Amino acid sequence: MYVIDSAIANRIVDRTMKIIGHNINVMNAQGVILGSGSNERIGSIHEGALLAISQNRNVEINQDIAPSLHGVKSGLNLPLHYQGQIVGVIGITGQPCELAQYGELLKMTAEMIVEQANLQDQLQWQNRQKEEFILQLIRDEDKDVDQLTHWGHQLGIDITVERVVAIIEIESVKQQQVHNNQALKQIVHLLQHPDRNNLIAMTSLNQLVILKPAYLNGKQWDPELESHRIDKLLKRIPANMELNLNISLGHFFIGIEGIAKSYRTAKETLAIGKSLNPESSKYLYEDYALQVIFTGLKQHWRGDALSAPYLKLVEADKNGVLQKTLSVYIQHIGDNKQCAEVLFIHRNTLRYRLDKIQQITGTNLQEFHHLLNLYLGQIMHQA
């Protein structure tokens, strides 16, 4: 059963007193005055309302009857109904004969306000439930699929739809937009219109998580197609919003259990992408896959062993020249001519640097597994 509270009562009072020049009282289903044009009456029991509730009828109270009832003045009291139940009473102070023409109009207005408030409460409750449902999906890999299926059905969500996770992080030029969630609300609106069956939830004051249908072409996961979709979203953001956005797209894993994994890869992709390419705004897992994968080896003896040779180079190479040289050497698969050209150095200088790298790291750059070890150490250092 829906219950009228003080906020709804005061809304009814404010709205209806603009219609007529009489005092309005709004009582709950127990006859307690919750809203009134006369503040001193709030909180008292209105016996006229109790009569209207108990008899489920309009109750007229004239000047002769009013003194015999507690907390009552002459006027008209009409029961308010919602879905066939009495939820309260609206009372109009004045002579009953003068108020008859207003009664049904005010009753209808009050009942419409109650209905709107209930629908709004239901929508807010459903939105909160959806957010909690989404947060459950991204945080817990060990899921009770049957329970989530039932929960999703209640919310109108088909959990059999394969999804991939994206994260949007907002940096607003106008900080007030961040504090009052205005920027996030605008982005959510863009994500929901047109409707693409996205599931959206806030994970912080400046971050959204989006569970996107993975099969945009209806057949298979296509990260390139999703990348184009992100580009279109960025172009749709009005310039006057003055927002800086960072968007990351995680890896796609099949099944509901894969959503939490996809979220974790999106989160790590965002952190690594911002670190390596802060000038960019779009970070795709496919572009940072190795860094994301090797993030899991950090602070683990396997990761320490893997990165040890490269960390020797980092320690010895204070100005970063040798690290850059190694990076270019790896990118060009050991082609000395191309490396020297890219670095704008003589081939003898390149040879000297490469010899220095080998001495410091204790590796042989001509041996594939040694070069691979340094490359993976570099990836670990960047992750």
SS3 labels along 121-138: HHHHHHHHHHHHHHHHHH
- Tell whether pTM > 0.75: no
What does the pLDDT read at residue 141?
66
pLDDT of residue 120: 87
What is the 3-class SS of 5-52, one letter each residue?
CHHHHHHHHHHHHCCCCCCEEEEECCCEEEEECCHHHCCCECHHHHHH
* 163-172 vs 243-249, strand pairing mode: antiparallel
Q: Measured between alpha carbons, how far is 202 from 269 in angstroms, rounded to an integer?
A: 18
Alpha-carbon gap, residue 149 to 374, rounded angstroms: 46
Predicted local distance difference test score (pLDDT) of residue 173: 54
Sheet bearing 163-172, strands edge to edge: 199-204, 207-213, 163-172, 243-249, 282-284
Measured in degrees and rounded to the nearest 5, phi and psi for residue 200 equal -125, 140
Cβ neighbours around 128 below 10 Å, total: 10
pLDDT of residue 53: 95
Q: How far is CA 8 from CA 5, 12, 25, 50, in A?
A: 5, 6, 12, 19
pLDDT per 10-residue tile (average), the chain, 383 residues: 86 89 92 93 92 94 84 90 93 87 88 91 88 89 80 89 93 59 79 86 90 83 89 80 86 92 95 91 93 83 88 93 94 90 94 95 92 89 77
